[in-house]
A and B are shown apart, each in its own frame.
Chain A
Amino acid sequence: MIKMALLILSLFLFPAISFADIQLTDEQFENLDVLTVQMKKKDANFLGFNGSKQNMKIVGNVSEDDVKKELSKIDITAKKKERDDNDPMNQKRKSGTAKLKASIQGITTDELRAMGLKVEE
């Protein structure tokens, strides 16, 4: 009987997922992935964004006001740079580009074109 009561209580205590409307700036809308990562670090109950620019909703058992407050504190430019710097794929791309540049030093533009490569001036 006690177990049953506890089960019922736990069901009531289990946080339901809610969907609250939120108005985002253009910059915020274009960087939803950055904002989502940062918001999840601040509040595990935040599950993400869903919808269109005109009709965006926050998903999770979170307060709309708290989310708005936290969003306004996020420096999107800095967080994007931080993400790109720490992205292993980005690092590989950068090192690959550097190696490619080094390996083609001394080759002229005409020669590259003759090899069938498109070279922009």
Chain B
Amino acid sequence: MLKKIISAFLTFNLIAFPVFAADQWDKTMPAGTTNISDIDAVMGVNNAALDRLVYGYRVNAEVTASTTNAIIVLPGELAIPNSGGTVVRWRRNTSGVTANWSDIDTGAESSGAVTQYYVYAVADTDVTTFTVKISLSSSSPSGATYYRKIGYFTNNAANDIVSVGNIAGGDVVNQIQASGVTNTTTTSSSYADMDDMVIYFVSSGRPAELTFNAPIEGTDTSRVYFTFDVDGTDYGERSFYPSGGNGGNTWAYSDLHHNLSLSSGTHTIKVQWKSGGSTTYQDGASASSTRPHGPRKLTVREL
């Protein structure tokens, strides 16, 4: 009797039971030998592995400027998790969504002060599409369960939406361009802000590339100086004598580039200029004078 029990016990130990890992995709599962009662668990493991892989999925859904009081989120597909990341809802918008101050999560538009806002895709309703919320919070919008931060913008002192950017992901890059189309000038021997050349940038912590270009007019006997100002610190200073043209005032095309590491968070990035003596002009308006003209542009791009 004892022999039979020992034999049965040994036989039981020799039987191969199908096993599955709890934390990784197994393309052989469920196998033909999988117990029917284990199929849900086996498939759950594989689904969870896939979920991790597409957790940050994004195609388009780019946040773009619309008016001074609204933004547009372009059509696209997004994976939108809950705050714990345990459930991910996959959503698709086939047309653009306009968001304005009626879509703010709490309160109302700021007034008279430069204020940073964030743009969230929300998937709380049981439909195939996502909605858009605006929030002061950089981590979670109030009143949403399934949300994903996809972009940001600044409401400036004149209560206009400026510096519309994206949280980089999928095919969407984080790049902002500011453009100046008025005529501006300086005789300052100390660095001063160039009109309209400011960007409020939200960095994920990656390196960034700053570029500035504009036609400039001065004289060939007086230097013109430019620098990028990032949160009050100067980077990439460059100076030159505008030497093109014939006699009198002369011109040059300013083309500055600078790469730097930006810490994660918000940054104020400007172009500043100063003159070595003579008046320096940047005519951003078209055909306003005999001077070379064209818009000045500051671009910040996360690499």
Q: Is the CB of A32 within 8 A of B189?
A: no
Interface residues of A in 13-36 (CB under 8 A from B): 17, 19, 32-33, 35-36
**A47-B279 contact given A52-B182, A52-B183, A53-B183, CB 8 Å threshold:** no
Q: Is the CB of A32 within 8 A of B190?
A: no
Partner among B184, B188, B193 whose Cβ is within 8 Å of the Cβ of A48? B188
Most buried by A among B185, B187, B190, B278: B187
**A51-B189 contact given A32-B279, A33-B278, CB 8 Å threshold:** no
Interface: B77 (CB within 8 A): no
Chain B nearest CB, measured from A30 CB (Å): 10
Interface: B103 (CB within 8 A): no
Q: Is the CB of B195 within 8 A of A49?
A: no
Q: Is the CB of B184 within 8 A of A51?
A: yes
Interface: A50 (CB within 8 A): yes
Interface size on B, residues (CB 8 A): 16
> Closest chain A residue to B247 by CB distance?
A93
> Closest chain A residue to B185 by CB distance?
A32
Please indicate the chain B residues that have their CB under 8 angstroms from the CB of A48 in the complex. 186-190, 192, 274-275
Distance of A52 Cα from B283 Cα, bound (Å)? 10
Please indicate the chain B residues that have their CB under 8 angstroms from the CB of A53 in the complex. 183
> Closest chain A residue to B282 by CB distance?
A52
Interface residues of B in 264-290 (CB under 8 A from A): 274-275, 278-279
> Closest chain A residue to B182 by CB distance?
A52
Chain B nearest CB, measured from A60 CB (Å): 7
Q: Is the CB of A49 within 8 A of B189?
A: no
Distance of A80 Cα from B58 Cα, bound (Å)? 62
Partner among B183, B192, B195, B278 whose Cβ is within 8 Å of the Cβ of A59? B192
Please indicate the chain A residues that have their CB under 8 angstroms from the CB of B190 in the complex. 17, 47-48, 59-60
Q: Is the CB of A47 within 8 A of B188?
A: yes
Q: Is the CB of B189 within 8 A of A52?
A: no
Distance of A50 Cα from B282 Cα, bound (Å)? 11
Q: 1/0 per residue B192-229: CB within 8 Å of A?
A: 11010000000000000000000000000000000000
**A55-B195 contact given A49-B185, A49-B188, A50-B188, CB 8 Å threshold:** yes
> Closest chain B residue to A48 by CB distance?
B188
Partner among B183, B189, B192, B275 whose Cβ is within 8 Å of the Cβ of A57? B192
Q: Is the CB of A51 within 8 A of B185?
A: yes
Chain A nearest CB, measured from B210 CB (Å): 21
Interface residues of A in 45-86 (CB under 8 A from B): 47-55, 57, 59-60
Q: Is the CB of B183 within 8 A of A49?
A: no
Most buried by B among A33, A50, A60: A50
> Closest chain B residue to A58 by CB distance?
B188
Supply 27 A–B pairs (Cβ within 8 Å), ascending by A: A17-B190, A19-B192, A19-B193, A32-B185, A32-B279, A33-B278, A35-B187, A36-B279, A47-B188, A47-B190, A48-B189, A48-B190, A48-B275, A49-B185, A49-B186, A50-B188, A50-B193, A51-B185, A51-B186, A51-B192, A52-B182, A52-B183, A52-B184, A52-B185, A53-B183, A59-B188, A59-B192
